Structure 1
């Protein structure tokens, strides 16, 4: 499930909850950016209370990548509003009563995923990524790729 348009900040976690409610037997994995996750992380408390089991992978690059790319394409530079602080999303998950794991090295990702898939309840994997590793968003360049 993916809405597009203006990147749909904050929809990932609520949609994962809805997917799990619709198909309780199905494994559910949400992949979201740190900016989008920041809009909705409080829903982890509801997911825990509702005993929903799913995995959230937060791609933590400490920037609003969509915004940064749009500004760079439109204006040739970007404002400092695109930068985020170093937020520990795994700690946020634990504060909501969920399991939270921080993955700082790629070689630890498979192990963290295996742990997450065995857990009963919501699990957040806070995966540290390169701030400049994002795909180009062609809509800002006047190109649409279907």
Structure 2
């Protein structure tokens, strides 16, 4: 029993959001979503370092509440969220995607709008392929190549597809944007801006 208590305390300590430089604390946002969403909410994601925050700080509480690739497939999150929403319309479906990950399948916003799959997409925008950049820095210091992104205006892009959208630059802005997304009768994208130097919790 003592060992189990220590193990649980260790896990709970690890799941407490970490504090990072800058005005946006991604760990706090993910933990807040864990408190705000019902246990049957579906959380999906693709591949990239942004998923470290989702897997560490979101408290999955039921079977079928996590949709994620086992093969590191970028772009998986949005189509998975749309499928989940169409299969179970009453369950909230929230997709996390990095900016590079999102652009692999962002055109599926048109599918979501067409079929009334009112998913919420949280795009973690750091202007780079963060996971690849991390490995370049680790294995080839000073030889970073091909990982910086010139992104479109994510909010304008989502609106062009017919979805709602909001941009969040500070932690305290997220709750209002998310409530707006939940109330919207259409798919909704929330772009959260994070410093590209922040690659892990």
**Taking structure 2 as the reference length, what is the TM-score of the superposition?**
0.63
Structure 2 gap ranges (5+)? 1-66
Question: Is 2:149 the partner of 1:87?
Answer: no
Residue of structure 1 equivalent to 2:40: none
Between the aligned partners of 1:87 and 1:80, the Cα distance in structure 2 is 20
Does the CA-based 8 Å contact 1:68-1:78 persist in structure 2? Answer: no
CA distance in 1, matches of 2:84, 2:96: 13
SS at match of 1:81: coil
Equivalent residue, structure 2, for 1:2: 68
Matched pairs, number: 135
- The structure that has the greater radius of gyration is 2
Q: Which runs of 5+ in 1 are unaligned?
A: 137-146
One of 158, 162, 171 as aligned partner of 1:106: 171
1:37 aligns with 2:102: yes
Q: Which runs of 4+ in 1 moved over 6 A?
A: none
| TM-score (normalised: structure 1) | 0.86
Trace 1:43-122 onto structure 2 (pairs within 5 A): 43-122=108-187
What is the root-mean-square deviation of aligned Cα atoms in Å? Answer: 1.5
